[in-house]
Structure 1
Amino acid sequence: MTKSHLLGAVALAALAFAMPAAAQDCERGDLDDRYCDTDGDLLADIPTDAADQVDPDTLIFAYTPVEDPAVYETAWADFLTHLEAATGKDVVFFPVQNNAAQIEAMRSGRLHIAGFNTGSNPLAVNCAGFRPFTIMAAEDGTFGYEMEIITHPDSGITEVADIAGGQMAFTSETSNSGFKAPSAILSSEFGMTAGEDFEPVFSGKHDNSILGVANKDYPAAAIANTVKTRMTERGVIEADQIVTIYTSQTFPTTGYGTAHNLTPELQTAIRDAFFSFDWAGTSLEEEFGKGGESQFIEMTYQEFWDVIRKIDAANGVSYACE
């Protein structure tokens, strides 16, 4: 039995830690009422009462649901072994199917460590008490990805304006590169609105959108180019199946962190595990090295996600929990 098969039992046990905190009279900014932000870093504070902190025997880890979960359970295997040694805990990989499910898993206490994609980070922070502290970077410290609008060679689309009157694929409404950034860019730079100037469809994941364009199911799509790069490197698609007609500015990539209510000692141990991990020769390097990543670097949500919060504001996105 693999660790992922143990998830059902672990999830039931984790419900014991899922009782929501009562609303407190404190500074919280955009955070849900169950959280406080007394230090102004835009993140949920660690509970000051030890009774509200949790120290589970088994830690649940989930990577953002952008591609085939089976591929990424393998990719993360060596890191999770390192995480077990660093924390003294068992660690289970949780193959989430969509962003909403991942956020709800952390909000309800069933997810302890996660990588949330760029667009869902603010929702995870504000609705689920997510405390991100690191992202992947190249050897020289550079990081991030670009949103691309792609098409296929036989679509008849040679520029963004040609999408008008047709169909365009997005991933999900919580995705930055898969929906929020392209929606803002299409509106501000090209005067195009989904539902008025073209028909929007939602594929659910970046790999679905990329495969959909490569196989000519969609005439155009908005995607994260790091996903396209990894799929090309793995031979899932051929480079000549895709044509890029727009590339955005660079955005921060997946942010990794913990649930807010883990004990301070456990959060420190998890943090140290990320920064002490040696990528060389590991399953993580094999997969993410395709996109040039080779280390975890420290970051702050307040600084690194500033541009994403501005995009959300331009799109009228609310961080209120549903």
Structure 2
Amino acid sequence: MLWNARYPLLLLLIGFVLAACGSAPQAAPAPTAVPAAATDTCPRPPEMDARFCDEDGDLVADPPKDRSQWVNPDTIIFAYTPVEDPAVYRVAWADFLAYLEQVTGKKVEFFAVDSNAAQLEAMRAGRLHVAGFNTGSVPFAVNFAGFVPFTMMAKADGSFGYEMEIIVPANSDIQSVEDLKGRQIAFTEPTSNSGFKAPSALLSSQFNLVEGRDFNAVFSGGHDNSILGVANGDYEAAAIANSVMKRMIKRGVISADQVRSIYRSQTFPTTGYGYVYNLDPELAAKVREAFATFNWEGTSLQQEFSKSGEAQFIPITYKEYWAVIRQIDAALGVKYVP
């Protein structure tokens, strides 16, 4: 685990932030060469690993100046954040990955990761080139693994994001957040924004509910597990990303009348897509081009993500779009690098 999950005093600082704004694993491909550490004299944010430099101040790692450290693989490895069944997303991403092959002239392989930690380690080790990291994992990926996010999904009108919701079984006697006292709450993983960080801050700062004192926490391992657990009555409550729940309802995995929401947050940025910092700049430009020019109409990507309203990729910067997530992490005392 990259950080300590309990910071009760720091949690009190986060109220203003929230008010202002949530299958079996497969073997990874063989690792490619990992660049040597950057010099200690190069500029970088204090939270960034010492192997990276950030001379332009955009808070993400610059490409290495030494061309010998660039990677230009014959096969691009792509991974989508492990929020739901990997088999579903292998199919959902098929048309886009075929287009990525067309634009880059490279073979592209879908890599099904089984945890946020596995995805982070794969990129840091050089086994992952292009990826979508979930909201809470993006800062870890940027600072620990050299991830360069540049796009995310949005609706047709350009609006984007999702909300964190706290859900309970439809027939539960829990009617409000205050009723969670003395209960068990399911979270997803410690790196998840809506699955752990934002709800932990909310419960402490706004409702004076502290884990271990006022409620018991369990970790389900994923949003789909938490949602299914609540729908089936295995969990008394869970904090989840509502975009995942919407897609599960549209696919018929659960029915809307099995769960009930007792809290909904303001909107957070959704999954960030990008590439590893030392990808050959010419290849990185083609990856950007593929995301920018992909036609969603009639594709497997549209079929799946239209369930939660997404219809296009829009350009983003980590510095601007993840500012609120970094504020939450700072108040929680989160450390991105061990």
TM-score (norm 1): 0.95
**1:179-217 C-alpha deviation (Å, 9 max, x unpaired):** 000001111110111111100000000000000000000
Among 35, 41, 51, the alignment partner of 1:25 is 41
Give yes or no for contact 1:115–1:256 (8 Å, CA) kept in 2: yes
Aligned pairs (5 A) from 1:195-214? 195-214=212-231
Q: Which protein, 1 or 2, shows the higher relative CO under an 8 Å CA cutoff with sep ≥ 6?
A: 2
Deviation at 1:308, TM superposition (A): 0.3
**Cα distance between partner residues in 2 of 1:129 and 1:119:** 15
How many angstroms does 1:19 deviate by? 4.7
Residue in 1 that maps onto 2:136: 119
Task: Look up the equivalent residue of 2:253 and give its one-letter code.
Answer: V
What amino acid sits opposite 1:101 in the alignment? Answer: A
Q: Deviations over 1:114-140 (max 9, x none)?
A: 000000000000000000000000000
Deviates more, 1:280-289 or 1:20-29: 20-29
| 1:241 counterpart residue number | 258
Task: Determine the structure 1 residue equivalent to 2:109.
Answer: 92
Structure 1 residue 156 corresponds to structure 2 residue 173: yes
Find the counterpart in structure 2 of residue 305 from structure 1: 322
The CA deviation string for residues 257-316 of structure 1, in whole angstroms up to 9 with x for no partner, is 000001110100000000110000000000001111010000000000000001111211
Verify: 1:315 aligned to 2:332, yes or no: yes
Shift of 1:75: 0.1
- Residue 263 of structure 1 aligns to which amino acid in structure 2? D
Are 1:291 and 2:308 matched, yes or no? yes
> What is the match of residue 36 of structure 1?
53
Q: Look up the equivalent residue of 1:141 and give its one-letter code.
A: G
Distance 1:65 1:23 in 2: 34
Residues 17 and 164 of structure 1: is their aligned pair in 2 closer, same or farther, counting only changes over 3 Å?
Answer: same
**Is the 1:149–1:244 contact (alpha carbons within 8 Å) kept by the matching residues of 2?**
yes
Separation in structure 2 between the aligned mates of residue 153 and residue 58 of structure 1, nearest angstrom: 46
2-side partners of 1:254 and 1:306: how far apart? Answer: 14
Give the paired residue count.
Answer: 312
Contact kept? 2:35, 2:69, Cα under 8 Å:
no
Three-state SS of the structure 1 residue aligned to 2:79 is strand
CA RMSD of aligned residues (A): 1.1
Corresponding residue for residue 259 of structure 1: 276
Paired amino acid for 2:174: I
Q: Deviations over 1:55-96 (max 9, x none)?
A: 111000000000000000000000000000000000000000
2: CA distance between counterparts of 1:144 and 1:16?
A: 34
CA contact (8 A) 1:169 1:200 kept: yes
Give me the whole-angstrom Cα distance separating, in 2, the residues matched to 1:48 and 1:22: 10
Match of 2:150 in 1: 133
Aligned equivalents of 1:139, 1:176: Cα separation in 2: 25
3-state SS of 1:97 partner: coil
Determine the C-alpha separation between the residues in 2 that align with 1:210 and 1:11.
31
Tell me which amino acid in the other structure corresponds to 1:206: H
Share of identical aligned residues, percent? 63
Task: Supply the distance in 2 between the matched residues of 1:172 and 1:16 (Cα, whole angstroms).
Answer: 28
Which residue does the alignment assign to 2:32?
16
Shift of 1:21: 3.0
Separation in 2, partners of 1:22, 1:184: 35
**Where does residue 65 of structure 1 map in the other structure?**
82
Corresponding position of 2:299: 282
In structure 1, what residue type is equivalent to 2:219?
F
Distance 1:24 1:48 in 2: 15
Contact kept in structure 1, 2:137 and 2:192, CA below 8 Å: yes
Tell me the equivalent position of 1:216: 233
| Cα separation, 2, equivalents of 1:99 and 1:20 | 24
TM-score of the superposed pair, with normalisation by structure 2: 0.91
Shift, 1:48, TM fit: 1.1
Contact in 2 for aligned 1:170/1:201 (Cα 8 Å): yes
SS at 2:264 equivalent: strand
Unaligned segments of structure 1, at least 5 residues: 1-6
